[in-house]
Homo-oligomer: A and B are copies of this chain.
Amino acid sequence: MKEAIREVARKAKESSPVVANLSSAQKNAFLLHLADKLLKEKQSILEANALDLERAKASSMRQSLLDRLALNEKRIADMASGLRDIASLPDPVGEVIDGTRRPNGLLVTRVRVPLGVVAIIYEARPNVTIDSVGLCIKAGNAVILRGSSSALSSNRALVQVVQKALQECSLPEGCVGLIESESHEDVKFLLSLREYIDVAIPRGGADLIRTVVENARVPVIETGIGNCHVYVDETADLDMAEKIVVNAKTQRPSVCNACETLLVHERVAPVFLPRVVAALKAKGVEVRGCEKTRQIVSEVVPACEDDWYAEYLDLIIAVRVVESLDAAINHINKYGSHHSDAIVTSDYSHAMEFTRRVDSAAVFVNASTRFTDGGEFGMGAEIGISTQKLHARGPMGLRELTTWKFVVYGSGQIRE
């Protein structure tokens, strides 16, 4: 198997200069062709997905995971329209980022170029397969896909469609590779291939990301662990605060930018907590509170230290009463995952201090944490949300799938 993996990686590297030098028109033509083809081939994709679902049910997979794994006509249509969206985005490759004429006459330019070969390690959602292909190819990269073994049959069918589309568009087939191995040792091997892989991006839960980070010898961009906070300041508009908390917690609780902990200033806690707890409970949310919270709203379950660290991804929220803005910021920087955090306030200096001191990829004033998203930020589609500081932070779109090189034009200059 290792030789097969090395071969997939080698071919990706070999094809990457070809992909890097495709014109925008060629890349967009491929994306649109693939979109059409997915719709035409939906029957074979759904049949392959049915096999995965059967196996998953036989192994008693949880309903929420089954939901992620399942494809249907609507989801295939969504993949196709996702590709069309990517085709409509501007091509990041070739942008002259900046440049300068030096005193010696050298023209130094910094030009945006593809990363090369991107490995995406992900879980059960088969739509990630198509999404990753679309984004990576549009940014001029070859891509190596390693999805969950539970989705292998679906991913094989999808990549088969991709391969045909590549062929029909005269693009090198090696530029999209699927790793079919189900073993963790093989993933580790893949992540050691520094000569072929320029960056690995894990897309999935905390365990997956930890495994990739700990085993990779290639550079990694960490994504998506979200222990996000809403802090309701003493000066908050409480109607706005309630709307934001309920939205951030319940609009889609399973995603990384959902709110997991609510912090409330002690001066507004007696008024705000009863109403926000009632509003959350009406949406089916379990509320776990600190001692002070429970003194105000007695039916709240007690929260323990672990709750402050928790990424529930579920209809559960931890609530803590804090004595000051400073205490709120310290709590967020200590327990949070540096993803997305919000303050609700009407005080200008509190808003400024919060945005300056909270060390997170996205910091919001008077808005829901749910907005941390490539589309919502105006970047178009995203490949994930980086919670590390290197290379990219926050939503990663096409630009974040590129690097640059310096191109320097001279007329015989030498260094004295």
Q: Are A333 and B17 CB-contacts (below 8 A) given A372-B406, A388-B219, A405-B394?
A: yes
Give 1 or 0 for each of A75-112: 1 = CB within 8 Å of chain B CB: 00000000000000000000000001010001010000
- CB-CB under 8 A from A362, the residues of chain B are 405-408
A237 within 8 A of B: yes
Cβ < 8 Å to B, chain A residues 361-416: 361-368, 370-372, 376-378, 388-391, 393-395, 403-416
Q: Is the CB of A410 within 8 A of B367?
A: yes
Are the CB atoms of B415 and A247 closer together than 8 Å?
A: yes
**Does A162 sit within 8 A of B, measured CB to CB?**
no
Question: Are A356 and B21 CB-contacts (below 8 A) given A363-B405, A366-B412, A406-B363?
Answer: yes
Is A311 close to B, CB under 8 A?
no
- Known contacts A17-B359, A199-B390; is-contact A368 B405 (Cβ 8 Å): no
Q: Which of B102, B359, B366 contacts A376 (CB 8 A)?
A: B102
Least CB distance from A282 to B in Å reads 16
A360 touches B (CB below 8 Å): yes
Within 8 A of B (CB), among A211-235: 213-214, 217, 219-221
Kindly state whether residue A355 has any CB partner on chain B within 8 Å. Answer: yes
Q: How far is the CB of A395 from chain B (nearest CB, A)?
A: 8
Instruction: State whether B364 touches A410 (Cβ < 8 A).
Output: yes
| With known contacts A219-B390, A393-B403, A367–B333 Cβ distance under 8 A | no
B-side contacts of A221, CB under 8 Å: 390
Q: Which of A359, A377, A389 has the most chain B CB atoms inside 10 A of its CB?
A: A389
- CB contacts under 8 Å to B, within A2-35, are 17, 21
Of the candidates B194, B357, B370, which one forms a contact with A415 in the assembled complex, judged by CB atoms under 8 Å apart?
B370
Q: Are B102 and A378 in contact (CB under 8 A)?
A: yes
Name which residue of chain B comes closest to A367, CB basis.
B410
Enumerate chain B residues within 8 angstroms of A199, measured Cβ to Cβ.
Answer: 389-390
Cα A415 to Cα B245 with chains together (Å): 11
Tell whether A324 is near chain B: CB-to-CB under 8 Å.
no
Is A336 at the interface (CB under 8 A from chain B)? no
Interface pair B367/A412, CB less than 8 Å apart: yes
Least CB distance, A29 to chain B, in whole angstroms: 21
Query: Nearest-CB distance from A134 to chain B (Å)?
Result: 21
Interface residues of A in 175-201 (CB under 8 A from B): 194, 198-199
Q: Is the CB of B393 within 8 A of A405?
A: yes
Q: Which residue of B lies closest to A257 (CB)?
A: B415
* Chain B residues positioned under 8 Å from A351 (CB to CB): 409
Contact, CB under 8 Å: A390 / B393: no
Partner of A363 from B247, B360, B408 at Cβ < 8 Å: B408
Contact call B219/A370, Cβ cutoff below 8 A: no
- Per CB-CB distance, the 3 closest pairs between chain A and chain B, nearest first, are A367-B410, A247-B414, A370-B415
> Chain A residues in contact with chain B, CB under 8 A?
17, 21, 100, 102, 106, 108, 115-116, 194, 198-199, 213-214, 217, 219-221, 237, 240, 243-244, 247-248, 251, 333, 351, 355-357, 359-368, 370-372, 376-378, 388-391, 393-395, 403-416
